[in-house]
Structure 1
Amino acid sequence: MAHFISETTVSSATNYKYNTLYITGISFISALGGYLFGFDFAVISGALPFLQKEFGLNAYWEGFATGCLALGAIAGCLIAGRISDKYGRRPGLLIAAVVFAVSSLAMAFSVSRDVFIAARFCAGVGVGMASMLSPMYIAEVSPAHFRGRMVAINQLTVVIGILVTNLVNYALRDSGPDAWRWMFGLGFVPSVLFFVGAAWLPESPRWLIKAGKTDKARSVLTKIGDASFSEDSIQTIEKSLQGVTKSSGYRSLFSKGIFSAVAVGIGLAVFQQLCGINTVFNYAPKIFESIGASQDDQLLQTVFIGGVNLVFTLLAMLLVDKLGRRPLMLLGAGGLAVLYLFVVQLLGMQSAAVSWLLLAAIGLYGMTLAPVTWVLISEIFPNNVRGEATSIAVVALWAAYFVLVFTFPILFENLQEKSFYIYAVICALGLLFVWLKVKETKGKTLEELEQDIGKSKV
């Protein structure tokens, strides 16, 4: 924990001095995009019972109203990829903040189902931009030996956003048929705070060097670490960009060496969603209704889910740079596969004990697959194509999320608890994928990882 409380930390590996308070500060500000991600992700869970009555949603429209966020996120990732590589990471974060603010008000004042879905699609654009840019920005400003926990800050703010939103939803549950409008409209406040914070952020030094603005990059790097760190970082970044200072766009992702990393990034992103745990986040009321819980109890369960998720995300921040990325991913995949088998049995018995099992699954996910996937995606791509490669991986993530949340109401209507057998099989396949394809990345600089791309599968 010393990295979080001391003004200057000396790396035992390099003897560089780092301004850890500054690094943590700009990481938290960038990660406010994660808070808004968590807000838009979670708010639908508490609002769905009201939206069903307001707009007469059946299983199809319930799934689409939830999943259209992912369709907007796909568009947001592609937009962010272009903006971040042409204009910088910071302008993309500012645009995302504006989109969050406008879409929050648009959802709150929706007058029909179609208007609401269009507004939620726009919210997804902001979510997609933030989900790509925030972890990428943090990875690019963080020294190697504690980059994992810095990037995990983004996941921490996501789960804080989920928890706070669930608490607000629970508090508003008895405030009348328009409670859902307040649930969505309150997202305007953190959106404004995010915009103000992002306006203060420095640009990523790696983007500045790529853009030929080395002096500005040096200025940023000397705020992050000492002069030796700054000069050595500039040299290694410039070396990684030699001969490829201008990206050839998405076509370059298919070049030898790079495509293997892109394929692994896409695989990790898709697995993180299709593992199935987000059905519990988004459809907790529906799942607990199936065992006879009241609407108050359904919403209270979402609060417990958010609290457990927060605690285990904090644990992940302590472990990701100590145990490493790969062991945590293996633990998450294998553990969820086993837990889902028991979930099926307890749901079939309509046992209240299933809530404890689902909370255990949430905790395991919050400690492993949720934060570590974002850490890996932010790390494994070369400097020259990081924007495009990250956008493709996160597009795949949101496409998988759409498939998951769109199909769950239909699957649950027809298969009930047996739906979780499907997710158990996917987790078993994910365990095999991580075992075969993912190598450890902890403790290496982004440039060292780039050198490894042509030598190995990651």
Structure 2
Amino acid sequence: MNKSIQKTNMSYVYLVTITASLGGLLFGYDTAVIAGAIGFLQTKFELSAAMTGWAASSAIWGCVFGAMLAGYFSDKYGRRKVLFMTAVLFSISAIGSAVPNTLSQFVMARFIGGVGVGAASMLSPLYISEIAPANKRGMLVTLYQLAIVLGINIVYFINLKIANYGTETWNIEKGWRYMLGSEIIPAALFFVMLLIVPESPRWLASKNKTDEASKILNRVNGSSQGGKVLNEIKEALKEEKGTLKELFSKNLRPALIVGMVLALFSQITGINAIIYYAPEIFKNMGFSTDSALFQTVIIGAINTIFTFVAIGFIDRAGRKTLLLWGLSGMVVCLFGVGIIFYTGQTSSIWTLIFILGFVASFSSSLGPIPWVIISEIFPTKTRGLAMSFATLVLWLGVVAITQFTPIMLKDLGGAFTFWVFMVNTLILLIFTFKMIPETKGRTLEEIEKSWRK
């Protein structure tokens, strides 16, 4: 009987998690779809290098604004309502970026989609963490990271199929429109599935809607455990003021620092440089274009496979332990890539081994774990606002790394560029060891109480 109840509860939790994770899939889909379209778009609108960069990065600036605004609105109006709005923004962007006649129209549509991405990037993991049972929360939030990776891989495949459907002329006129417009399918699915999932029980409790919160918690945890969790939430809420001043108070300031450092360093330790510029890096090493693109596909596969490693171990080994091991592997691999560039042995098989080792280490640790920890460590009343701060820092890191990596590769060379990333990783390794608490198996209220002590 107990097994049946537990199975039913987990089926419901998985439904809710998969729905929220579609926000991650759209995150990956939206940020990667431009890769297949940008070359055709450049020819269509006769763009200079600067304007091509603006067309490609316009969505990222939307992400910055989305991350800034989503926390306030989700704390005020609810997680689910704002997730609905992100689904609408994704849909508008998909249609708008598929039909423009001018670059300005295209940039506006992509910016709107970026606002949705930025909002979903903090809201989806937050929503999952607030509804998940404590002993499964790490694995369930990590599914969000897996969805991002799958979204990237899916859209690469769709872009390839669309590009191969017609001639170069057809792609310049229409192909890129189908690539960008294809996002309407996952966006519509996200909207429909949000209709069948509940509001966050912790947000409901913070608004004194305890009966609704109780029903959801009982369905997730069982009536006995659900009642216990609800009491913990009520007790924690009594301690919370829910103000911006509280977030920067002596008790909670360490949590905010942990969230912002994790968010920033997840971007400035080199993963985006490798994902975005891998073909160029491999070509500069002497590989042919076809070989470089094939090795990029291998990177995508490794990224996916080792995200499953994180899913399997995050609730058993713990967040901190997994992060320490992964960061250590990243340091070794970045040092190795730097040595290879420094000695000029870039055509060596060791280049590929170290880069794949870096991706594997990242995907099993620094890829998913910041999303998990950031969604766990803040109080309920200010969790949305606090995650907005952290996610805003993350997106500013994305902007910086996208902007400066080509400059670093050109002016510093490959060796010193990768050694800069290695130093950043080493800083985060020390920070993790000294500052980040282990949160596995603890309720969100127990984690909050530990900061107040």
Query: What secondary structure is seen at the aligned counterpart in 2 of 1:212?
Result: coil
Bigger Cα displacement from structure 2, 387-396 vs 290-299: 290-299
Equivalence for 1:13: none
> Aligned equivalents of 1:298 and 1:200: distance in 2?
44
> Aligned equivalents of 2:143 and 2:56: distance in 1?
26
Contact 1:40/1:123 (8 A) holds in 2: yes
Bigger Cα displacement from structure 2, 267-276 vs 41-50: 41-50
Q: Map 1:95-106 to 2 at 5 A.
A: 95-106=85-96
Query: What secondary structure is seen at the aligned counterpart in 2 of 1:370?
Result: coil
Q: TM-score, normalised on structure 1?
A: 0.90
Equivalence for 2:374: 377
Q: Which amino acid aligns with 1:234?
A: L
Equivalence for 2:310: 316
Deviations 1:73-126 (A, max 9, x none): 121122211221111110111100111111122223344444433332222111
> Aligned equivalents of 1:284 and 1:180: distance in 2?
22
**Alpha-carbon offset, residue 55 of structure 1:** 5.1
Query: What secondary structure is seen at the aligned counterpart in 2 of 1:70?
Result: helix
> Aligned equivalents of 2:401 and 2:47: distance in 1?
18
Q: Map 1:175-190 to 2 at 5 A.
A: 175=166, 176=168, 177-178=171-172, 179-190=175-186
Contact 1:83/1:91 (8 A) holds in 2: no
Equivalence for 1:73: 63
Q: Which amino acid aligns with 2:237?
A: L
Equivalence for 2:195: 199
Query: What secondary structure is seen at the aligned counterpart in 2 of 1:274?
Result: coil
Equivalence for 1:14: none
Q: TM-score, normalised on structure 2?
A: 0.91
> Aligned equivalents of 1:438 and 1:209: distance in 2?
28
**Alpha-carbon offset, residue 345 of structure 1:** 4.2
Deviations 1:170-199 (A, max 9, x none): 334444343433322211110000010112
> Aligned equivalents of 2:106 and 2:435: distance in 1?
41
Contact 2:329/2:357 (8 A) holds in 1: no
Contact 1:88/1:204 (8 A) holds in 2: yes
Deviations 1:369-413 (A, max 9, x none): 010110000001111211111111111111111111111222233
Deviations 1:52-90 (A, max 9, x none): 544566665555544443321121122211221111110
Equivalence for 2:421: 423
> Aligned equivalents of 1:365 and 1:328: distance in 2?
10
Compared with structure 1, are the counterparts of its residues 131 and 180 closer, same or farther at alpha carbon in structure 2 (3 Å cutoff)? same
Contact 2:64/2:118 (8 A) holds in 1: yes
Q: Map 1:164-243 to 2 at 5 A.
A: 164-174=154-164, 175=166, 176=168, 177-178=171-172, 179-242=175-238
> Aligned equivalents of 1:427 and 1:62: distance in 2?
31
Compared with structure 1, are the counterparts of its residues 110 and 360 closer, same or farther at alpha carbon in structure 2 (3 Å cutoff)? farther
Residue 409 in 1 paired to residue 406 in 2?
Answer: yes
Residue 300 in 1 paired to residue 297 in 2?
Answer: no
Residue 273 in 1 paired to residue 267 in 2?
Answer: yes
Query: What secondary structure is seen at the aligned counterpart in 2 of 1:19?
Result: helix
Residue 159 in 1 paired to residue 149 in 2?
Answer: yes
Contact 1:149/1:320 (8 A) holds in 2: yes
Deviations 1:346-376 (A, max 9, x none): 4543416333432222221111101011000
Residue 332 in 1 paired to residue 326 in 2?
Answer: yes
Query: What secondary structure is seen at the aligned counterpart in 2 of 1:442?
Result: coil
Deviations 1:219-256 (A, max 9, x none): 21122122112211111101001154x622x3331122
> Aligned equivalents of 1:90 and 1:193: distance in 2?
15
Equivalence for 1:386: 383
> Aligned equivalents of 1:166 and 1:33: distance in 2?
18
Bigger Cα displacement from structure 2, 444-453 vs 167-176: 167-176
Equivalence for 2:99: 109
Q: Which runs of 5+ in 2 are unaligned?
A: none
Compared with structure 1, are the counterparts of its residues 453 and 376 closer, same or farther at alpha carbon in structure 2 (3 Å cutoff)? same
Q: How big is the alpha-carbon RMSD for the aligned residues of Structure 1 and Structure 2? A: 2.3
Query: Which of 445, 448, 451 is the aligned partner of 2:446?
Result: 448
Deviations 1:412-434 (A, max 9, x none): 33334232222111111111111
Compared with structure 1, are the counterparts of its residues 166 and 344 closer, same or farther at alpha carbon in structure 2 (3 Å cutoff)? farther
Bigger Cα displacement from structure 2, 120-129 vs 387-396: 120-129
Residue 291 in 1 paired to residue 285 in 2?
Answer: yes
**Alpha-carbon offset, residue 285 of structure 1:** 2.8
Equivalence for 1:120: 110
> Aligned equivalents of 1:170 and 1:414: distance in 2?
33
